Amino acid sequence: MEELLTTIGELISTEINKVNDIEYVDKEMGYMFYIVLNDGKKVLLSLIESK
């Protein structure tokens, strides 16, 4: 799952013009990263495993 989230982060950062950066959150907290937009706003993307 970590590989999938990393791939998604890379695609977002290279394909969407409004994205300035990707900041990965501590792995202890799970599979998450912030999408940092050009205006400084952040969007949290996380993967939650459920049964």
Backbone angles phi, psi at 29, to 5 degrees: -85, -5
- Which has the closest alpha carbon to 43: 1, 3, 7, 12? 12
The DSSP letter of residue 25 is P
pLDDT tens per residue across all 51 residues of the chain: 778 877 888 888 888 888 898 888 877 767 788 889 999 999 988 877 666
Query: How far is 1 from 17, CA to CA, in rounded Å?
Result: 26
pLDDT for 5 equals 76
pLDDT of residue 3: 82
pLDDT at 51: 66
Say how many CA atoms lie within 13 Å of 4 toward its Cβ: 6
